[in-house]
Structure 1
């Protein structure tokens, strides 16, 4: 996926470290984003038969920690890839 984005000249970074800060205290283990596209969209890549609600919670946590409004879960485990895209929003304007 990253290769295809680069071919299209879309900036994408993989495995970006996100520190977890709780009440001013930085936790030892950071979180890692699967893809960060144009520093505006977080993409979590999965390959499962059925999406688990924890995936939405995970992505929403990433969005809140980074103050990014939009994220996508892309599930390559679906029969048709078009059915594998799931949008997650964090205080998106107009939502």
Structure 2
């Protein structure tokens, strides 16, 4: 399954959750529901996956925790905030770049219109 196929399933699953639950809940609730929906869709999902990084000779174990990692290809960062900031995008961009993934998705469930709360960050994706 390609990154783009995975992202389509993520979007559809997130939209379903957004329609059923609405806005204003904790991130952890949306994360659990998305985990459930993606597993139901047959996608391999890891929750709170740690990411190790190396800086020169220094190896940093568990440097970051990604909310969800799908098929070991797509990183999801789940938010429930009033406004996504440049920091949120930079955080995901770093996960994608440092983990050598091709696609990351930032999903803010606190957006009135679901599609306005979804951002894709590509890293060499064709």
Normalised by the length of structure 2, the TM-score is 0.69
- Report the equivalent of 1:59: 92
Given the alignment of the two structures, is residue 84 of structure 1 paired with residue 123 of structure 2, yes or no?
no
The superposition leaves residues 30-77 of structure 1 with CA deviations (integer Å, 9 ceiling, x where unpaired) of: 200100011110000001111110111111111111111110000001
- Report the equivalent of 2:4: none
CA distance, structure 1, for counterparts of residue 102 and residue 62 of structure 2? 23
Unaligned runs of 5+ in 1: none
Return the match for 1:71 from 104, 116, 123. Answer: 104
Unaligned runs of 5+ in 2: 1-33
Q: Which has the higher strand share?
A: 1
User: What RMSD in Å do the two structures reach over aligned CA positions?
Assistant: 1.3
Q: Is the 8 A contact 2:51 2:62 kept in 1?
A: no
CA distance, structure 2, for counterparts of residue 10 and residue 19 of structure 1? 23
- Report the equivalent of 2:35: 2
Q: Which has the higher helix share?
A: 2
Give the number of equivalent residue pairs. Answer: 93
Which portions of structure 1, spanning 4 or more consecutive aligned residues, are displaced by more than 4 angstroms? none
